[in-house]
Amino acid sequence: MPVLAAGFMLSSPVLAQSGFSEGYKFLEAVKKKDGAAVEAALLDPSSQIINSRDVTSGETALHIVTQRRDLTWLNYLIAHGAKVNAADDRGRTPLQLAVNLGWREGAEFLLQKNASPDVSNDAGETPLISAVHRKDLQLVKALLQAGANPDRADNSGRSARDYAALEGKNSAIASAIDTLAKTKGKAAAVYGPVL
């Protein structure tokens, strides 16, 4: 009978929920767009709950709202101290996610809020490399104007400039990289993730 009682307790949502951490509850409220619960969690100004991470993925609240392309929540969370350069367990920042989604508005907003354009994921890909792979000229330009290094290489040794050149030296993306990167000079290639 003790096994049945334990099974009953775990199936009871009220009892099971009482065992969840405050960070878990906060992230669930963000996922459910429960503004009242999120605001209640943020009442303590010394709290670091805004940067809670999902224990299974490392995602923060910013990752969650970026994935759903929610600019209102993105703005709200950053205004309350969410770290724009926090990476999940795969090294992806909210900026990397926005670029991968092709969400220009979100990527540009994150860049305005000082998201680093050169943080690489576990494969060494920077947001600029991802934008080049997507063939998204607007995102390429926005990232370069924010200071992205077109010569920072991924784990395979190729940079955004190298990938753009595969499309041809006269491609719009290769031309944009050459034009916008000339003002900064060519930086030395960096291989792998920057710690």
pLDDT of res. 3: 45
CATH of the domain at 27: 1.25.40.20
- pLDDT tens figures, 11-61: 434 334 456 799 999 999 999 999 999 999 999 877 899 999 999 999 999
Do 33 and 104 sit in the same domain of this protein? yes
Do 127 and 89 sit in the same domain of this protein? no
The total of structural domains in the chain comes to 2
DSSP 122-140: TT---HHHHHHHHT-HHHH
Instruction: Tell which residue, 56, 36, 49, has the closest CA to residue 81.
Output: 49
Do 67 and 153 sit in the same domain of this protein? no
Q: Which domain, by its residues, includes 176?
A: 117-195
Do 93 and 132 sit in the same domain of this protein? no
- pLDDT tens figures, 109-121: 999 999 999 999 9
pTM check: above 0.85: no
Domain end point (choices 67, 86, 116): 116
Report the pLDDT averaged over residues 141-170: 95
